[in-house]
Every structure is written in C-alpha cells, then in structure tokens.
Chains A and B, each alone.
Chain A
Amino acid sequence: MPTKKEPIWIARELSKCSGCRKCEIACSLFHENRIWPEASRIRVFMLVPGTEFPHFCAQCEDYPCVQACPTKALSISKRTGAVLVKTKACISCGKCIEACPGRIPHIHPTENYVVICDLCKGDPQCVKVCQEGGWNVLKKVSRRNRHYKLYARTPEETARDLAIKMYGEVAEEFL
C-alpha cells in the first residue's frame, strides 16, 4: 500500500467491472455532496451491455491536458500526481478534452469548468467502494515511471476491446 505522501496511481482491471456504478456514487458524494452520476469524475460507460467500464483520468506521464490549457487552470499535484482544476480559471474551452488521448475530462453539467479525477487528495473514494464490494477493478498503487498514458483511451476504443474480448467476433454487431 502506498503511503499517504507519495504520488499514486489507480490500477484498473476493466473487464471485471460489474457496472454497479458505486464508484460514481462515491465520487459524486465526495465532490458534490450528492448522488450525481454526470458530475462524477469517474464515469461508467455501457456502450455495449455487459462491457461496462470506468472511464477516468490515467494521469499520463506527460500530462497533455495540462500543457493544452490556455488559462493555466490545470496543474499537477506534487503530492498525488493528480491533475487539479482551478475552477475559477477554467473557461470550459474543451482544449484539455481534445488533448487527452482518451477524451476523458468532461464539462461539469451545471458549472463552468471541467472535471477531472483529483485522486481525492490521495485517498480515492472509488477505490474504497470497489474494494469493499470485492470487485477489485480499481486498486491504489504507488506511482512509478510507467506508461500510464496507454490507459487514456476513448470510450469507443475501450468498449470495442472489451466487447471483443468478451463476446468474440459477434461483438462487431453490437458496436
């Protein structure tokens, strides 16, 4: 288990996701103090039934979203490695979304800023509920010098991979 001070990463085993969306519930309760799936920083996509998966920041090693931000609203937390959003500086221009290889950030449904996983200051709530339920799709690990960017994939790409892994070639009909 990583210590509180060190940068972390959330390891993910997407094909085990049950689609229970408890991560969305926990995330939105923590950040918004209500159950609000669309405002959750982690969102479960179900483009093909049975292949639900959580879509959330991969904390790429080169942080293309941070570099793309024209207002310096995005920064990197030294403590956790998370991308932090200065909500007042963000202008919802969507440049970070375009820069993200997985098009992961999205605009808050009612506020004028983008939402990105902030790793809950090092204690990710989504991981807790996922572990508590025994699904273990999400796991908190120490951040190492790895190619986390590989995990920044669009929902379409991930859905396709998972559907083919699960259903084989018939998956083409569902995509």
Chain B
Amino acid sequence: MILGYAGKLLEVNLSTGKIKEVRFDDEVLKNYVGGRGLAAKILWDRLGRKWETINPLEPENKLLFLTGPLTGYFPGGRTCVSGKSPQSNGMVGSTVGGEFGVELRCAGYDGIIVSGEAEKPVYLFIKDSDVEISDASHVWGKDAKQTVATLTKECRGFLKKRFPKYGEWKEPAMVYIGPAGENKVRTAVVAAKWAHAAGYGGYGAVMGSKRLKAVAVKGTGPLPDVADLRKVKRLIQVVNDNAYESELWRRWGTGAGGYEFGAETSSEPVRNWQDEWHDERSFGVDQFENRVWIKQFWSDFGCPTCCLKIAMVKTGKFKGAITDNPDYEMQAYLGPNLGIFTPEENVFLSSLIDDLGLCGIQTGNVMGFVAELFQRGILTKKDLDGIELKWGDAEAFAALARKIALREGVGDLLAEGTYRAALKIGEKKKLDVLKYAVQAKGIGIGAHGIRSGKDYPEAISYVCSVQGGDHTSTTGLPLDGSSELGEIFNDSGVFCNFNSFGVPRRVKFDFYQAITGIELTRKEWFNSKALRILQLQRAMLLLGGPDLKWNPKIHDVNPPRFYEPLPSGPYKGKTAKKSKVEEEKRRYYEAVGWDKNGIPKTEALKALGLEDVDRCLEKIRYEANA
C-alpha cells in the first residue's frame, strides 16, 4: 500500500441508505493522486459512458468530497469537492479550506462518494468508522451561521452521550449548504466555517439535489503514516519560513486586492467588466483593516499565512454583518463589479452571500450582468420584480441575492447562472445579451481580467481551461509553467496553493515523495500524469449535456467584453487580440494533444492509456468535422 493515504473511501447511497467502503489500487492512486485527479478517474469510470445523459441535479450524479496525500501535511488544509458540474456540465475540482479534509483523514477515509438522493433532508455524521445518516429537517432552510451553530451543538451532544468519559469533544469539522444549495441554485456553494466555500462548479446545488444538508466528521486517529517523517517536518518548516517572511501577504491576505487590482493592474471587474480600473481609496486595504477587521489573523489547519481576516460591521445600517476579509474575489465581485466601493457595504453583501450559501463570484457575476442589462434598459424594474438595480445600491443587490437563493420571481431565472440566464433573457427579449455575459463555458470568470496584460491570467487562460472561468485553474504555455497542469497537482494533492507562493517549485513534489514514498518528477507529472487528468476533464467538458454542450469552435473563446478596449485608467485602450488568442490557442491545442477542433487526439489519448475515452469522443469528432 502507498503511504500517506487512509486507504479507503466511504461510499454512501442516499437513496438506499447503504454505506460501504471502497478502496483503490495503488496504480490508480499513483496516477490520479487524490482530489481533482481522483475525482476525474471516479467520475469517468462510473459515469463516462453515459456522461451526456446525466443531469447533474438528478440522483445519478455523484458528489465527491476528496482529500489528497498532502492534505494536513502541506500547511493549509483543504478539501476537494467534485461531481458533474451543473455550471459547466463537465467536471470541476473545487476546493474549500478548513479542517474537514484533515478530520476525514483522521477518521480513516481519503474521501466520500455520495450517490442517489435522500427522501427527506439528511446530514451525514461520521465519527471514525461510525457513519450515520441523520435527519436534517430541523436545519433545512436555515442559513449558514444557524446551521453551523445547530449542528455543532448537536454533534458534540451525540459524542458526549456516546463517549461520556472521553472528556470534552472538540467540534467536528463540517461542510454544508445554505438555502441556495437546497433550492438547487446553480451558483450555490459547498461551504465551511461560515465564510469558506467550494464555489466553482456549483456543487452546493448537487448537494441540495441529494437533500444532503451537511457532512460533519470527527476523526480521532492520526493523519496517515508517511514514508519519511523527518523530511516532511523539514518541508513543513520550509513552507512556514517562507510564509513568515511574506509580511504583507500575511498582514493583508488578498485584502489589498480590492484596491490594487483596480488601481495598479487594471484587471478588476468594475460594473460588470465595463471597466477594469478604479482608484477608489475608499476601497483601500487600510479602510478594511481599520474599520471592519476584528481579527487580523485567521487560518485553517496548519496554515502559517493566515490570509483570512474576520470582518464585522459595528455601526450603521449594516451593523452585525460578519464575514471573512472579504477576500479579493468577494471584494471585487460584491464591490466594484456592482459599483460598490465601501468596506461596510462589501462586508454586508459578503456576509449575506455566506448566509444564503451562494457563491460570491458566480452570484456577483450574474448580478453584475443583470445590473448592466438594467443600465441599458434591456431589463426593467418590472422585469426585476420591482427592484431598481442601480450600480452601488447594496440593498437592491441584497434583495436580488435573496431572490436568487430562494428562486423567487426573477431569482428563479438568475439562479441558473449568467450563461443560462443570458440565453433565456436573449430569447425573451429577442436580443443578443450574451455579449454582456462575462463567463467561460457556464462559469463566470474570476476577478482577474486579461485586457491590461498586467495581471497573471493570459490571453487563453480562460479560453482553454477545463474549468472555464475558474481563476484558480487558468491555463497557458509553457505547460510546465503557466498551464493548469500545476494547479491540477495542488487540487489533487489537495492543499492550499497560497502557501506555495514563493516556495521553490520542487517543494510540493518533494512533499509528495516524502509522504507517499513514491518518486515523482516534475517531468513525469507534466508530461503524463497531469495530462491524463486534463484529458479526462476535457472529455467530460466536451461531452457535456444534457441541457448544454460546448463546441470548442464556438465556445473556446474569451467573453466578447474582453475584446472591448479598456475605457479608462493607465491601460486605457488596451484589449485582448483575437489573432493572438487564436495563435496561442492553436499552440496550446498542439501542446496538450488536441486536434484543430480542440478535441483530444486519438494518439494522445492512447499514449496515456485512455482508449475508452477515445472511443467516447468519436461522435463529437465526427460532428466537429461535419
């Protein structure tokens, strides 16, 4: 057996109530590692042949919670959530911070596979090898903070009752959904610790479709054995020391971004990306720090960075709103993207988004899109159930967010996410509104634009990513530098990539080797293992269905907005260039073994042992050439 793994996964069928353990061969673990990689393997093996017919929100979809061998060892614990995505109809490896993955490994599991759907709301409670499907009717409809409070108390109560002599029980770690997930809103998250979320992919909706309100886990064992503990300890120290020297990164986290990505790099969404520049000092990190941060350092298991802070509004209209920093993505999408430039309003909206169980990025994206349609007179107050959706009106956006989470009135349409809503609105208004939709393959683009060329994403970052608009899985060339193959390692080893900034690139591979005892070179990763995972994800993305399908010729593109010149700021007039995008796309296709239509080639798939994937792609190859 390979070291560094608990050695088994838990499989729960919510339709039958059957619970069992599953194990994977060493070969599978060696090739797919864990998290995102293993998710690709599990989903392909179980759903691949019928992928196009699987409705992500029906019981046949699988919901995965996976750790990796680095979880708990590499500083900064995370958990990877996956399944067939109700946003992209492909597969996204979506990670969430917190202690859940560590507790799961300490309970003896590398992950959980959930299938079927429960008859009534339930939650899973795992205490080591004891697994229970418990009634969750009393928390169904409850917001994030109520859910966490109620289930924390309840689970500790169970533990106390069953093990009265143990002493005090720490809280189990938990992932949960809010009302948005329950209502199968496609922009719903799987959340943890009030403000943490696996957002990309829309797995909150999948969890809701299964009537699974939460999973709580308490593991009393140690993390799995490693091959070379001394080396692991040394590597942890390398990551820690690097973080301790990054003074501003620790002090501000991504919280400086709300100002800097606007003023400096001109790559922040402003009013639905009509601009990417602002220099509103009211949105400076000092304002957040001095006015709303009530805890300067907040972190997850083993994290030396503490990029998270806790913010609370103490006075005024939004008094009582609590969230984290907000981090840069929440700052941008629930700030400038909606024409909002004060910390208090930003904290208020972020807190509401947390409570409702919505994704701030995807919901901020769709609300910005709608606000632009309102600005242009395409949608009226009447279309929006009486909401006057003016830029900068935090309360109007809050009202809209509530409607989305509850699928009330116009919220039901917007709950489908930007792309699907744009199709429907376009049809109804007989207008092309897709040009205002800033998304890639059903996934709203993260708050890092490409037009100025000063931020990290590149011309084809979102065009070719197998996770669409996901800013944590952008791609490009060279493959071993700028592509998403590196991100696939982070999401498969399952650790926080923020703690790898500034750390020599080999350290994460050294971690893998010291933990598992298996040699893994960068070359091996980039030339075969990561590529295999990428091809699986690409195949599932292109197979898509049943409601939407992507044709690379049409959909491997940047949103039209990225070809409009930046209207203001130091990079005024700059824009993405179609010819450059096409040229880079062609080179990228070639590098990853995709044909001119963007479909993985037979020889590339065969070289990776993916013959069955090749067969499944025959049909779309034929269609693309027809």
Measuring CB to CB, which residues of chain A are less than 8 angstroms from any residue of chain B? 16, 18-22, 25, 28-29, 32-39, 43-50, 55, 92-94, 97, 103-107, 109-110, 114, 132-135, 154-155, 166-168, 170, 173-175
Tell yes or no: B54 within 8 A of A by CB. Answer: no
B residues 336-351 touching A (CB-CB < 8 Å): none
Q: Is B304 in contact with A105, judged by CB distance below 8 angstroms?
A: no
Chain B residue, CB-CB nearest to A43: B170
B: interface residue count bin? 35 or more
Which listed residue, A93, A104, A132, touches B244 by the CB 8 Å rule?
A132
Tell yes or no: B72 within 8 A of A by CB. Answer: yes
Q: Is B222 in contact with A32, judged by CB distance below 8 angstroms?
A: yes
B residues 208-264 touching A (CB-CB < 8 Å): 219-223, 225, 229, 233, 236, 240, 244
Q: Could you tell me the distance in whole angstroms from the C-beta of A60 to the nearest C-beta in chain B?
A: 16
Which listed residue, A43, A49, A109, A170, touches B148 by the CB 8 Å rule?
A49
Q: Could you tell me the distance in whole angstroms from the C-beta of A48 to the nearest C-beta in chain B?
A: 8
Chain B residue, CB-CB nearest to A115: B167
Q: Is A167 in contact with B322, judged by CB distance below 8 angstroms?
A: yes
> Which chain B residues lie closer than 8 Å to A49 at the CB level?
148, 193-195
Given A109-B221, A174-B149, list of 14 further CB < 8 A pairs? A18-B299, A21-B99, A22-B304, A28-B222, A34-B222, A34-B225, A36-B221, A37-B170, A46-B99, A46-B193, A49-B195, A92-B165, A110-B221, A166-B295
Q: Is A18 in contact with B306, judged by CB distance below 8 angstroms?
A: yes
Main secondary structure of the interface of B (DSSP, over half): loop
Measuring CB to CB, which residues of chain B are less than 8 angstroms from any residue of chain A? 72-73, 99, 102, 106, 145-146, 148-149, 152, 156, 164-168, 170-171, 193-195, 219-223, 225, 229, 233, 236, 240, 244, 294-295, 297-304, 306, 310, 312, 314, 320, 322
Which listed residue, B99, B167, B244, B300, touches A94 by the CB 8 Å rule?
B167
> Given A18-B298, A170-B320, are A47 and B240 neighbors across the interface (CB < 8 Å)?
no
CA distance A113 to B107 in the complex (A): 20
Question: Of residues A18, A48, A134, which shows the largest number of chain B Cβ atoms within 10 Å of its Cβ?
Answer: A18
Which listed residue, B145, B149, B298, touches A19 by the CB 8 Å rule?
B298
Q: Is B149 in contact with A173, judged by CB distance below 8 angstroms?
A: yes
> Which chain A residues lie closer than 8 Å to B222 at the CB level?
28, 32, 34-36, 39
> Which chain A residues lie closer than 8 Å to B73 at the CB level?
35
Q: Could you tell me the distance in whole angstroms from the C-beta of B237 to the nearest C-beta in chain A?
A: 9
Q: Is A18 in contact with B149, judged by CB distance below 8 angstroms?
A: no
Q: Is A34 in contact with B223, judged by CB distance below 8 angstroms?
A: yes
Q: Could you tell me the distance in whole angstroms from the C-beta of B351 to the nearest C-beta in chain A?
A: 11
> Which chain B residues lie closer than 8 Å to A107 at the CB level?
165-167
CA distance A44 to B170 in the complex (A): 8
Q: Is A37 in contact with B244, judged by CB distance below 8 angstroms?
A: no
Which listed residue, A19, A36, A133, A155, touches B168 by the CB 8 Å rule?
A155
Question: Of residues B149, B164, B167, B302, which shows the largest number of chain A Cβ atoms within 10 Å of its Cβ?
Answer: B167
CA distance A55 to B546 in the complex (A): 52
> Given A154-B168, A174-B149, A175-B149, are A35 and B221 neighbors across the interface (CB < 8 Å)?
no
Q: List 13 A-B contacts (CB under 8 A).
A: A18-B303, A20-B303, A22-B304, A32-B222, A34-B223, A39-B222, A97-B168, A105-B167, A106-B168, A109-B221, A132-B244, A167-B322, A174-B145
Chain A residue, CB-CB nearest to B301: A21
Q: Is B167 in contact with A36, judged by CB distance below 8 angstroms?
A: no
Q: Is B244 in contact with A106, judged by CB distance below 8 angstroms?
A: no
Q: Ordered nearest first, which 7 A-B pairs have the shortest CB separation?
A: A106-B167, A36-B222, A109-B220, A18-B297, A94-B165, A20-B299, A38-B220
> Which chain A residues lie closer than 8 Å to B306 at the CB level?
18, 20
Q: Could you tell me the distance in whole angstroms from the C-beta of A38 to the nearest C-beta in chain B?
A: 4
Q: Is A22 in contact with B302, judged by CB distance below 8 angstroms?
A: yes
Chain A residue, CB-CB nearest to B308: A18
CA distance A93 to B166 in the complex (A): 9
> Which chain A residues lie closer than 8 Å to B145 at the CB level?
173-174
Q: Is A134 in contact with B229, judged by CB distance below 8 angstroms?
A: no
Which listed residue, A20, A36, A110, touches B301 by the CB 8 Å rule?
A20
CA distance A28 to B236 in the complex (A): 15
> Given A50-B295, A132-B240, A132-B244, are A34 and B220 neighbors across the interface (CB < 8 Å)?
no
> Given A107-B166, A134-B244, A166-B294, are A38 and B302 neighbors across the interface (CB < 8 Å)?
no
> Given A173-B146, A175-B149, are A37 and B106 neighbors across the interface (CB < 8 Å)?
yes
Which listed residue, B194, B219, B221, B310, touches A166 by the CB 8 Å rule?
B310
